[in-house]
Amino acid sequence: MFNPPHPGEIIREDYLKPLGLTVTAAAAGLHVTRKTLSDLLNGHSGVSPEMAIRLEKANWTTADHWLRMQMQYDLWHARQRALAIDIVPFSAPDERALA
């Protein structure tokens, strides 16, 4: 798996730039603060379910798409730190007990 782009980078490159939107204008259209959008665009925050709905309502693909993209980004970064995650392994449950 490759290093996926942060959703904010996609928003900036594929939506704001082609539409000629400034961060201020896009934030106003999405009804969020400029700081909220700027944090997302610069990778300092992720796409929340509410923001995903706002992006969907702006006709910038579906909320599900944005949330999947955010999850893939977060999971890739967590996997990079996997060796540092210390846990106690458990046995798998007996499949008959789950039926």
Q: Which are the contacts of 97, defined by CB distance < 8 A and separation ≥ 6? A: none
Under the banding of pLDDT at 50, 70 and 90, the label for residue 95 is confident
pTM for this entry: 0.85
Q: Report pLDDT digits (tens) over 3-28.
A: 999 999 999 999 999 999 999 999 99
Give a yes or no: residue 91 inside a domain: no
Give a yes or no: residue 49 inside a domain: yes
Our count of domains for the chain comes to 1
Give a yes or no: residue 99 inside a domain: no
Closest C-alpha to 18, from 69, 60, 48, 56? 60
CA 22 to chain centre: 21
- CB contact at 8 A, 4 and 73: yes
Give a yes or no: residue 34 inside a domain: yes
Q: What would the mean pLDDT of 83-93 be, rounded to a whole number?
A: 90
Give a yes or no: residue 95 inside a domain: no
CATH of residue 31's domain is: 1.10.260.40
Q: What would the mean pLDDT of 71-84 be, rounded to a whole number?
A: 94
Q: What would the mean pLDDT of 47-67 be, rounded to a whole number?
A: 98
DSSP reduced 3-state for 99:
coil
- Top pLDDT among 58 and 91 is at 58
Domain around 13: 7-82
